[in-house]
A and B are shown apart, each in its own frame.
Chain A
Amino acid sequence: PNVGTGLVGAPQCGDVMKLQVKFDGSGQIIDAKFKTFGCGSAIAASSVATEWVKGKSVEEVLTIKNSQIAKHLSLPPVKLHCSMLAEDAIKAAIKNYKEKQDKANGETVETIDSTYLHGIGS
């Protein structure tokens, strides 16, 4: 549950982008990778996003905006949707990670409950 996967697509041009982030025990991103099928700008945007999320916490990565990515890459207006896709990929990956964390915590509670019930039974 320490890996979050974001899978997003651009409806206009048919780009598809997958971004994965890996967290350590203290909630920092220790690794990130991407796979993008699309134009050069979409690939570049996801590459930048991958580099920028490394070493950051959840709160920090959610502050990354498409405008920063676009500016960094000097994207023309017609390609701004590529940087938006990268931002959305980050958000989707974080959301997925949180969902997994919540699920894992839920299982932990269930485990405790089981132990407790078993304790009563014995």
Chain B
Amino acid sequence: CSESGAGCWNCGEKAAFLFCNSCRSIQPVDDSVDYFQIFGLEKKYEIDPGSLEGKYKDWQKKLHPDLVHNKSKKERDYAAEQSAKVTEACRTLTKRLSRAMYIMKLNGVNVNEEETITDPTLLMEIMELREAISEADDSTSLNQIRSQVQEKLKQWSDSFVEAFESQKFDDAVKCIQRMTYYERACEEILKKL
């Protein structure tokens, strides 16, 4: 794995960003380390879920409170901070939508979350979708709608990859907006099931 700029606070060795392999001490959070680096993943949208999960468990073992209780207060605090960051990183990279927003952010594109959407095509579709969810009474109907939404989510996720890798960031933002609405619709369905 790559190393952070500073040396280990404990032994001065060029250190891993979470954990010093030389003296085995836990390092303070380094914000220059991105989420992909934490899990040893290539910085791209499509990732292998298996390796993410495996690496996540590895880190949690190293950072778990039970395993650091006999270390100094300093290291225990570092472990708590690192554990929180690892958890947030895993959550972010696991879901398609948050992973899309995160990788855009790494490329200097902050998806504008303030500007109101006025695209009638998108909004009319979503209004109809939400109405259908609202009116569906049984789990069969809800699961049917859910399957359709999941399929849409996958389609727009694929469109995002296409736009992102072509550096068409405006299109990528539109894909993320679509994904946001489908994710929200899925949440509403789950509430009713």
Contacts and interface: CB of A to CB of B under 8 A. Distances in A.
B123 A7 contact: yes
Contact of A9 (B111, B122, B134): B122
A79 B52 CA distance: 34
A49 interface: no
B126 interface: yes
B112 A9 contact: no
Describe B's contact surface by its main secondary structure: helix
Given A16-B123, A16-B127, A18-B127, A84 B116 contact: yes
Given A11-B180, A14-B184, A35 B127 contact: yes
A11 B188 CA distance: 16
Nearest to A96: B120
A13 B185 CA distance: 11
Contacts of A9: 116-119, 122-123, 126, 181
A14 B127 contact: no
Contact of B126 (A12, A16, A81, A88): A16
Contacts of B113: 11-12
Contact of B130 (A8, A12, A16): A16
A15 B184 CA distance: 8
Interface residues of A, number: 18
Interface in B158-172: none
Contacts, number: 60
B130 A11 contact: no
Describe A's contact surface by its main secondary structure: mixed
B47 to A, nearest CB: 24
Interface string A54-74: 000000000000000000000
B151 to A, nearest CB: 18
Nearest to B113: A12
Given A9-B122, A11-B177, A14-B181, A37 B116 contact: no
B184 A13 contact: yes
Contacts of A35: 127
B117 A10 contact: yes
A92 interface: yes
B118 A11 contact: no
Given A13-B184, A14-B181, A14-B184, A7 B112 contact: no
Contacts of A37: 126-127, 130-131, 134, 188
A84 B184 CA distance: 19
Interface of B: 111-120, 122-124, 126-127, 130-131, 134, 177, 180-181, 183-185, 188
20 contacts: A7-B118, A7-B123, A7-B127, A8-B116, A9-B117, A9-B118, A9-B123, A10-B117, A11-B111, A11-B112, A11-B180, A12-B180, A14-B180, A14-B181, A18-B127, A37-B126, A37-B127, A37-B131, A84-B114, A85-B116
